[in-house]
Amino acid sequence: MKFFVDTADVPAIAELNDLGMVDGVTTNPSLILKSGRDILEVTKEICGIVAGPVSAEVVALKADEMIAEGRKLAAIAPNIAVKVPLTWDGLKTCKVLSSEGFMVNVTLCFSANQALLAAKAGATFISPFIGRLDDINLDGMELIAEIRQIYDNYDFKTEILAASIRSVNHVKQAALVGADVMTAPPSVIKALASHPLTDKGLEQFMADWAKTGQKIL
């Protein structure tokens, strides 16, 4: 499973990237707002750090303007994936930009039929939002499983990018149902390393080691 980091926080991306944990980055208008940075500048900086796909989202609502914005974002670096919303205009934009050879991430996906349309429009990635479905008492993971089945039935090459990941359990479940990629905030990626029995075991080892009176260095 590929790990994308869902943030525009450059130091956080750099730290995880140094550990080999970052296969790509996703941003959105809310994350750009949170970063307090200019979208073109921060996206270029991120593309200079991360070799994999870096999603940058268009903000126009009409296809013609989305396509123009997408071309401008794609010109930032060769590893840009243009992010478009799953609307009819977004699908038109996806078709045009993917035909021009750009990577396209179709975002704000909440149904299997939406994912089917995105694949037919040539999306590189489809982003089903797990957490936001869970927020309204639906089952985000069931959606990932449905999309996996449909894409496998018809051999679609679009990668399933599990998004709106809020917990370590979401990461495990997305991996179990076969998401190709997951994108999560740095805090969730770091939390994957934690286990209370690891902490407890380490505490015991340190206490026993101190009693030996030995040193390694």
Helix (H, G, I), strand (E, B) or coil at 57: strand
Taking the complex as a whole, the smallest distance from the CB of residue 64 to ligand E4P amounts, in Å, to 24
Of the pair 127, 173, the CB lying nearest ligand E4P is at: 127
Vertex 101, ends 160 and 150: CA angle to 5°? 25
Taking the complex as a whole, the smallest distance from the CB of residue 51 to ligand E4P amounts, in Å, to 19
Of the pair 33, 202, the CB lying nearest ligand E4P is at: 33
Among 2, 34, 62, 83, the one annotated catalytic? 83
Task: Write out the DSSP string of 68-108.
Answer: HHHHHHHTT-TTEEEEEESSHHHHHHHHHHHHTT-EEEEEE
Q: Using an 8 Å Cβ cutoff, are 181 and 162 in contact?
A: yes
Of the pair 131, 178, the CB lying nearest ligand E4P is at: 131
Task: Give the Å distances, CA to CA, from 23 to 31, 47, 50.
Answer: 18, 12, 8
Taking the complex as a whole, the smallest distance from the CB of residue 47 to ligand E4P amounts, in Å, to 16
Q: Is 190 a catalytic residue?
A: no
Residues that bind ligand E4P (CB under 6 A): 6, 26, 28, 107, 127, 129, 131-132, 163-164, 183
**Catalytic positions, please?**
83
